């Protein structure tokens, strides 16, 4: 039997795939991928062909013996996989556009991890991911599930809580983006920066930050109070923290914290932007069309630079370094979403957290944090509560539970608005929420 | 030496005092008060005289040997006290009016325990209460401090954390109001109702409710989904929960939960009301004037019924039953603010919580709760974080800490608005916040 | 239908039964027992008749309308019971004698809750109690199971962990004996003594002790350092603590603590006693014979005073006050074995602990303790670990698990001796341990 | 200023020093030591000269620019140190001999970390180490304190609890010895073995063990049930576990576990050995004399192989890899004694534990364990309680506290024997226990 790794990517037709392929090419020496299976559904067949052929050209150009398989047969793709990565989007960008547009009518943010957008993306995604887990139990019980699909924290929580797959890691490019941002801020190479991360997906804080092992947090906080320096991730522009707030918070924030500490400004900004240029999904839809046009070019055999505007900066970096460290038992430290197990006090042990971990062949082992600073303990728990109850609603299809999840979300202005949004969004996403409409014929993603 | 109890009431000139006196009269058999010392400051002298004389007439009418002492000398009043009750208001109702009016300009709620109102009331009150604690250490080290002054949770937290007085209980009429409300809802006598309370002051939940020891929670939840039945405390009118929300929450809420689960409606309602009839402080100012006119009547020797509109319903009931149970080592169960010590998991052990306790001569001993339901765990911790950081700001006089406290409050729309409100309110309350203006001559309450 | 309570006593032929009956008679006003079902197995039929007829005569003499039913049909007895009390002994006193004699050969204590004796009593008892629980689920799902059968902590742990019966309380006369002992020590009436109990069954400490609500712990510790004053329970005579030890421990101990803090003396004493007068079981066997002779007397219609030497002092008191408080929703405080739920930090929440509880119609609600003093935290956890692993061995019938349980018991001198004792005792108790001998025909108690 | 590291070794005259020097020589490339200060007290002057001169010859032979300073002036040695290592022995081996001989008279083990031996070594050592900490605060506040002095767990606990030095690590060669033992058992190179360590010093368990990242625990447990394979550390010979015990324990044990799970055998073996060849201290005294004779040889310029029989196998390895990883911010994983901070649930957060940590320039960061397996949770807490109370006794000089510490130690047969041993040992070690004899002139080590 040929030695080497089998990687299966669910949602392989995604515009992100060339990122991932580029990563596998770059790191082939450490991570000898033998087979890459790109899987998609019927509706994504055309994109799968386009992006899959680009992937083949990239690998051919690199002169590497990686086989690329394109398929709509998920079970065939999963069989004996070593790593399963998920980057699918139930309902495609069209569903995301609804996640954004509908809440705005009620003056509420519809971002895809936060608030109603995140709730409904979770409700659509979790049943599919649990189905994949069932297949994995049967077809590749020793594989690692590396989940990129948002809301990544809620999805990881659901897998830990409702599936038998324990080898699951949720991955996000926000922490690596924060490292890159800090590196740029301090004008040092990324490799010299280390951050102690703790929190949840899209709600992660940097407890301390080091250059060459020496803490530089005080210096960074000082620089961060300068409103021109707070933008780390291109598609969530920083608005500039109040110096008094960030000094006393004394933590590194992630871009998504703007939604919680600048709620009013963010929603106003998003509504304005949606009017002027369309919502993020609508913008991305356009971008993607252009990208796929580029991908079609039979002479293209590299990741086109335009992909970087798509928003997944460092995505390939994060994915490949995680898979490589598991495969090689490297023992380096990376921030991932994994079971808490006591790393963060006051978050339940069985819940998913995003935290700096040692990455070994046995998966991520969290470094102990103790407790989060008192100022953020409540907010982090509140988002965790939202994630847990949303995951429960996704599994049970219980209407009241969905209303509860949205009502306790700190971005929701009232229980009544929560109920109204749930009503309208359930209707809008009906096709992808069979668990809420049990009498109708279920339509699965 | 004559046997009997010495009670010292700080802020004795309050319009509430006749409530308290009525309670002492009613319960004299169990709680033989020998001396009642009503203390106030120079600015409250006139009111102290009026209300103190009414108290004397009430006691005389009852034919009881309780001595009433009226004094501006706090230290004399504290000497050898058995119980010290606090019901003072630094800056009087005029300060409360500012707490309400200023935040409204920024579209933010200015209630006296929640949001900026609560923060600034705490900043004014905590230094005074810690001063009283220092006097108590010296003059009545074995006395119990029974605190009614709002924000009662924040004040109790501050006493536990920053003073040497460990015999402190924070008391509120909200839980007893919830019992009364449920009794009315079910049309049974109050004495037959028992609620398992857990949470924080003005953020307390009923985990279960019993009639004659049998749980009736399901029935109550059913009745509570009827919008006409949610109003328990007169001065915070319920708006009616969404049935889907309250069914899945599956807890009894308190009236203040409206601020968190119906934020938008509440602030709109309060702004409208402030325009039409004035803020609550302004309304109460008027009510108080009328009350003191009544109190002056030398023929009045009972608590006038108009006092009940003032908002302190069951205040006397709660106070007297607590003091009596401590004095008599009764061992009954009452909801009070005390040190958590593990009763509510995930709230720090050394923090104040509002929880059902066995009341003994040693004070309140909390009944263990385990953990709060997942849906409310985050919000409760968030308010606890707000209380702790606000208490820290009150003690240190640190500007950044005050901004942090307000920013993390879930009612605050952004860090910038937090900073702007802090700026304006610090200026407005300057006279009562010497810790923030150290160069000026300190003016103490 | 006639109102009143149905009580079912498993092991009704026990010599203790007259105690219990006396209690029901005394407290009939508060606790109107309508039916008392005494159940036993075929082997106990004669004793059941004798003691059952005495019970009938006692009730007749008292002139109360309590029906006494004697039966070997456990299921009939359980049907619609309100309270099920268990006081049975699988293998009778003959088995206990083996529990005591065999370990002695290895120089190890064979007491019926501690060490190998407790382990094997648990192995015999737990399967039977879990059988009873299954019957209760079906026949009296709302009944309370009040377990007196030793090892009561291990049995309660097993019921909580391995059955669906959640309404279970483990009860012991040690705490009430400690109260009585302290009352005698201080020469005050028992009703004036209150102790804050925390720990495990037969490993319970008094954290504080009060007379009329005032702590008298210092005084008691002083008196306890007097070697003549440490004996609280007749059949476990105190040996007198080292004053330096008990002063720094600063807790009230129970008689069983002698086994852990005076291991060497206790085992020597027990071996000597066994030689001179027989083991405790052998002594009790003789006592019981005499008791049953007395019970047979058709003129006897009271509990004979000789029963008090049997060792179950205050047993009836403890049982009846617990049942009464549950029945009447009294809300008084009693020490019982119940689910920890956070009352004692560092003991798992789902484990059984012995702790002061408020007793309501909903059962016992523990008063929060925080953490045990550092000096005893390890020992208590060690016994809890023993109980849990022993319970697991009882359920699984796994040999290695039984050896592990005994090896980690602090009274066991080595893993090899543990293994040897397990081997010999498994053989000796074969008949009552079907789970360990699955190929043979199971013989159930 | 010349770049490089200053290392200060307290107790530099120890026979172990050549080990350490050999390590610094081997790892000079990664760890460029510029100055090595060997400090000792007047009584150790001669040994310091001998071993110090050997160190100089070793370094000269290696051709490295490391300056060796020999001094009795501790303060000079500490000034600006980067790392302070402690390997001193208050009272020398003569005191250790008493620690061993006296308890034996009472049938109790007198090992230098366990039981009375460990207690008294702690009582003598802790005041000295706290003195060193005070000097460090003043003279080298940024230095790391690497403590090898036994009882290393108790000493680390004392430093964390009673000094201001937070940069402290306790180090032991037991874990590395376990790794080496497992490597030998499996016949693989040490570098391929990884163990998840958790517990306390000399009470550490291997929760899992890996070869090349794959768990081999099942295989190891199988091999360990073979009595010929359990000896890991030369001077504590394994006695062979009962297969049934170790299978159900399902953990790797350390050699010191024999004292707890084979108490009887170990004490008998130690008493026999003491009779035949002398106690360990007496044997080592003889060994040391021979070693120092060897060290004197001016032609010796390497660590003599006879040192390995002394018992400190892998000592240099452990020390140098720790210091190197801190110095180079390596981020590898090593088992050390550090503050728990939640890594091991149910051990207090502020206590010292021995646990696998990521080693960075900021020191060790524990990898989260969750909770210890139920079977060992109690024993580990019991030893932790012993360590904490012993540390308290060392600081306060309180007699009762010392008796309490020894009584709760699981190796102590009774409170009376504890008291008798404390009495005799206090007298025997009087000279080195000034805190217990305040009236006499204090004699400090």
DSSP C220-289: HHHHHTSGGG---BTTB------HHHHHHH-SB--TTHHHHHSHHHHHHHHHHHHHHH--HHHHHHHHHH
Give the whole-angstrom CA distance, residue A238 versus residue A229. Answer: 8
Strand partners of residue B147 = B86, B170
Mean pLDDT in residue range B233-240: 44
Residue with tokens 């006092």: B307
pLDDT for C228 equals 60
pLDDT for B121 equals 96
Contact A265 B388 (CB under 8 A): no
C263-277 and C92-105 helices cross at what angle (nearest 10)? 120
| Percent of all residues in chain D with a pLDDT value above 90, rounded to a whole number | 83
Mean pLDDT in residue range A198-215: 96
B92-105 and B415-428 helices cross at what angle (nearest 10)? 150
The chain B residue lying nearest A375, using CA atoms, is: B385
A232 CA to centre of own chain = 16
D368-385 pLDDT, tens digit per residue, is 999 999 999 999 999 999
Contact C400 D248 (CB under 8 A): yes
D299-340 pLDDT, tens digit per residue, is 999 888 887 777 666 888 889 999 999 999 999 999 999 999
A271 CA to centre of own chain = 23
pLDDT for B311 equals 67
Q: What is the DSSP letter of B44?
A: G
Side-chain-side CA neighbours of residue D329 (13 Å):
13
Give the whole-angstrom CA distance, residue A17 versus residue D28. Answer: 47
C256 is catalytic: yes
pLDDT for A142 equals 95
Please enumerate residues of D whose Cβ is less than 8 A from a Cβ of C: 241-242, 244-245, 247-249, 261-265, 346, 374-386, 388-389, 398-401, 403-404, 407-408, 410, 413-419
Peptide bond into A6 cis (omega under 30): no
Which residue among D262, D382, D407 sits closest to C382, beta carbon to beta carbon?
Answer: D382
A152-162 and A374-396 helices cross at what angle (nearest 10)? 60
Q: Which long-range contacts (CB under 8 A, 24 or more apart) does C295-303 make?
A: C295/C15, C295/C18, C295/C50, C295/C51, C295/C54, C296/C50, C298/C53, C298/C57, C300/C54, C300/C57, C301/C54, C301/C57, C301/C58, C301/C60, C301/C61, C302/C22, C302/C58, C302/C61, C303/C18, C303/C19, C303/C21, C303/C22, C303/C58
* Active-site annotation of B, residues: 256
- DSSP character string of A103-158: HHHTT----SSSHHHHHHHHHHHHHHHHHHHHHHHHH-TTPEEEE-SSSHHHHHHH
Mean pLDDT in residue range A105-123: 91
- DSSP character string of A414-431: -HHHHHHHHHHHHHHTGG
B79-105 pLDDT, tens digit per residue, is 999 999 999 999 988 999 999 999 999
List chain D residues with CB under 8 Å of C384.
Answer: 378
Cβ count within 10 A of residue D361: 18
Q: Does residue A25 contact residue A64 with C-beta atoms inside 8 Å?
A: yes
Give the whole-angstrom CA distance, residue C385 versus residue C395. Answer: 15
Give the whole-angstrom CA distance, residue A147 versus residue C320. Answer: 58
Residues in CB range of B8: below 8 A, 6 or more apart: B37, B39, B77, B78, B81, B83, B84, B85, B140, B143
D150 is in an annotated binding site: yes
C-alpha pair distances (Å), B216 with each of B211, B223, B252, B371: 7, 11, 11, 21
Q: What is the DSSP letter of C341?
A: T
Write down the pTM of the prediction. 0.94
3-state secondary structure D241-253: CCHHHHHHHCCEC
Burial of C298 (0-12, 13-18, 19+ CB in 10 A): exposed
Give the whole-angstrom CA distance, residue C283 versus residue A89. Answer: 76
* Helices and strands in chain C: count of H runs, count of E runs: 16, 12
Q: Tell whether the model's pLDDT for residue D439 goes beyond 90.
A: no
C275 token code pair? 């030689």
Angle ∠(D93,D94,D100) on CA atoms, nearest 5: 85
pLDDT for D441 equals 52
Residues in CB range of C187: below 8 A, 6 or more apart: none
The residue among D103, D113, D179, D101 whose CA lies nearest residue D149 is D113
Pairing between β-strand C67-71 and β-strand C33-39 as defined by DSSP bridges: parallel
Contact D263 C404 (CB under 8 A): no
Burial of B65 (0-12, 13-18, 19+ CB in 10 A): exposed
pLDDT band at A178 (very low <50, low <70, confident <90, very high): very high
Peptide bond into D151 cis (omega under 30): yes
Q: Tell whether the model's pLDDT for residue D236 goes beyond 90.
A: no
B295-323 pLDDT, tens digit per residue, is 999 999 988 888 877 766 688 888 999 99
Give the whole-angstrom CA distance, residue C371 versus residue A49. Answer: 63
C-alpha pair distances (Å), A226 with each of A239, A242, A272, B299: 10, 9, 25, 67
Mean pLDDT in residue range D227-243: 55
A404 token code pair? 């509860």
pLDDT band at B23 (very low <50, low <70, confident <90, very high): very high
Q: Tell whether the model's pLDDT for residue D13 goes beyond 90.
A: yes
List chain B residues with CB under 8 Å of C192.
Answer: none
Cβ count within 10 A of residue B1: 3
Residues in CB range of B395: below 8 A, 6 or more apart: B126, B127, B130, B158, B162, B435
B331-376 pLDDT, tens digit per residue, is 999 999 999 999 999 899 999 999 999 999 999 999 999 999 999 9
Give the whole-angstrom CA distance, residue B150 versus residue B171. Answer: 9
pLDDT band at A293 (very low <50, low <70, confident <90, very high): very high
Computed over every residue of chain D, the mean pLDDT equals 92
Q: What is the DSSP letter of D348?
A: -
The residue among D101, D30, D106, D37 whose CA lies nearest residue D67 is D37
| Length of chain B measured in residues | 445
Contact B369 C342 (CB under 8 A): yes
Strand partners of residue B189 = none
Distance in Å, alpha carbon of A384 to nearest chain B alpha carbon? 8
Burial of D223 (0-12, 13-18, 19+ CB in 10 A): middle
Give the whole-angstrom CA distance, residue B254 versus residue D332. Answer: 52
Strand partners of residue C199 = C204, C354
pLDDT for C1 equals 43
The answer to whether chain B touches chain A by having 3 or more C-beta pairs less than 8 angstroms apart is: yes
What are φ and ψ of residue B8, in 5° steps? -120, 125
List chain A residues with CB under 8 Å of B244.
Answer: 399-400, 403-404, 419
Q: Does residue A350 contact residue A161 with C-beta atoms inside 8 Å?
A: yes
The chain C residue lying nearest B344, using CA atoms, is: C342
DSSP E strands: which ranges in B289-444? 332-339, 352-360, 363-366
Angle ∠(A86,A88,A94) on CA atoms, nearest 5: 160
Q: Tell whether the model's pLDDT for residue A255 goes beyond 50.
A: yes
* Helices and strands in chain D: count of H runs, count of E runs: 16, 12
Q: Tell whether the model's pLDDT for residue A265 goes beyond 60.
A: yes
Check: complex ipTM more than 0.85 = yes
B279-295 pLDDT, tens digit per residue, is 989 988 998 899 999 99
B341 is in an annotated binding site: no
Q: What is the pLDDT along chain C (445 residues), one digit of tens a residue?
A: 456 899 999 999 999 899 999 999 999 999 999 999 999 999 999 999 999 999 999 999 999 999 999 999 999 999 999 999 999 999 988 999 999 999 999 999 888 788 899 999 999 999 999 999 999 999 999 999 999 999 999 999 999 999 999 999 999 999 999 999 999 989 999 999 999 999 999 999 999 999 999 999 999 998 877 656 544 433 333 448 899 999 999 999 999 999 999 999 999 999 999 999 999 899 889 988 999 999 999 999 988 888 877 766 688 888 999 999 999 999 999 999 999 999 999 899 999 999 999 999 999 999 999 999 999 999 999 999 999 999 999 999 999 999 999 999 999 999 999 999 999 999 999 999 999 997 655 444 4
Helix (H) or strand (E) segment spanning residue D322: helix D315-328
Return the CATH number of the domain spanning residue range A1-210+253-433: 3.90.110.10
* Active-site annotation of D, residues: 256
A366-375, B232-241, D69-78, D182-191: which has the minimum mean pLDDT? Answer: B232-241
Give the whole-angstrom CA distance, residue C18 versus residue C34. Answer: 17
pLDDT for C231 equals 46
Peptide bond into B123 cis (omega under 30): no
Q: Does residue D267 contact residue D109 with C-beta atoms inside 8 Å?
A: yes
Give the whole-angstrom CA distance, residue B442 versus residue C134. Answer: 72
The answer to whether chain D touches chain A by having 3 or more C-beta pairs less than 8 angstroms apart is: yes
pLDDT for B24 equals 95
Q: Does residue A263 contact residue B418 with C-beta atoms inside 8 Å?
A: no
Mean pLDDT in residue range B389-413: 97
pLDDT band at A203 (very low <50, low <70, confident <90, very high): very high
pLDDT for C98 equals 94
Give the whole-angstrom CA distance, residue B334 versus residue B147. Answer: 15
Residue ranges of A for the binding site? Answer: 96, 150, 172, 202
- What are the domain boundaries of chain D? 1-210+253-433
Residue with tokens 């929560």: A418
The residue among C120, C111, C121 whose CA lies nearest residue C88 is C121
C-alpha pair distances (Å), B121 with each of A271, B126, B271, B430, D259: 36, 8, 20, 12, 61
Q: Tell whether the model's pLDDT for residue B267 goes beyond 50.
A: yes
Mean pLDDT in residue range A295-324: 85
D92-105 and D115-139 helices cross at what angle (nearest 10)? 150
pLDDT for D232 equals 41
Distance in Å, alpha carbon of D119 to nearest chain C alpha carbon? 15
Helix (H) or strand (E) segment spanning residue B205: strand B203-211
Q: Tell whether the model's pLDDT for residue A189 goes beyond 60.
A: yes
């Amino acid at each position: 039997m040929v030695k080497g790794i089998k990687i299966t990517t669910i949602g392989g037709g995604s515009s992100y795939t060339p990122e991932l392929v580029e990563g596998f090419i770059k790191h082939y020496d450490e991570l000898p991928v033998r087979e890459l299976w790109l899987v998609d559904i019927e509706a994504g067949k055309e994109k799968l062909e386009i992006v899959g052929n680009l992937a083949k050209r990239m690998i051919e150009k690199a002169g590497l013996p990686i086989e690329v398989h394109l398929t709509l047969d998920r079970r065939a793709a999963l069989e004996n996989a070593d790593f399963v990565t998920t980057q699918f989007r139930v309902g495609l960008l069209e569903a995301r556009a609804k996640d954004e547009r509908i809440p705005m009518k009620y003056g509420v943010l519809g971002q895809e991890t936060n608030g109603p957008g995140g709730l409904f993306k979770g409700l659509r995604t979790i049943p599919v991911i649990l189905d994949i887990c069932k297949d994995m139990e049967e077809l590749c019980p020793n594989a690692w599930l590396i989940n990129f699909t948002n809301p990544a924290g809620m999805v990881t929580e659901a897998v830990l809580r409702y599936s038998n797959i324990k080898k699951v890691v949720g991955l996000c490019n926000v922490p690596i983006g924060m490292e890159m941002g800090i590196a740029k801020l301090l004008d040092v190479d990324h490799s010299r920066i280390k951050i102690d991360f703790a929190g949840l997906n899209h709600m992660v804080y940097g407890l301390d930050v080091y250059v060459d092992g020496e803490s530089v947090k005080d210096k960074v906080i000082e620089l961060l109070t300068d409103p021109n320096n707070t933008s780390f991730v291109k598609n969530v522009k920083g608005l500039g923290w109040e110096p008094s707030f960030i000094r006393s918070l004394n933590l590194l924030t992630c871009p998504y914290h703007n939604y919680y500490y600048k709620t009013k400004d963010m929603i106003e900004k998003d509504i304005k932007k949606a009017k002027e240029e369309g919502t993020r999904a609508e913008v991305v839809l356009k971008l993607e069309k252009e990208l796929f046009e580029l991908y079609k070019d039979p002479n293209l055999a590299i990741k086109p630079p335009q992909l970087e505007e798509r928003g997944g900066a460092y995505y390939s970096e994060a994915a490949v370094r995680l898979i490589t460290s598991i495969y090689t038992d490297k023992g380096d430290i990376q921030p991932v979403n994994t079971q808490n197990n006591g790393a963060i006090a006051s978050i339940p042990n069985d819940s998913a957290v995003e935290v700096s971990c040692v990455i070994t062949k046995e998966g991520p082992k969290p470094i102990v944090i103790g407790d989060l600073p008192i100022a953020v303990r409540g907010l982090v728990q509140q988002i965790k509560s939202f994630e847990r109850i949303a995951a429960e609603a996704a599994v049970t299809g219980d209407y009241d539970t969905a209303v509860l999840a949205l009502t306790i979300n700190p971005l929701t202005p009232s229980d009544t608005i929560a109920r109204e949004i749930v009503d309208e969004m359930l209707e809008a996403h009906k096709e992808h929420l069979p668990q809420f409409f049990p009498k109708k014929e279920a339509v699965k993603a």
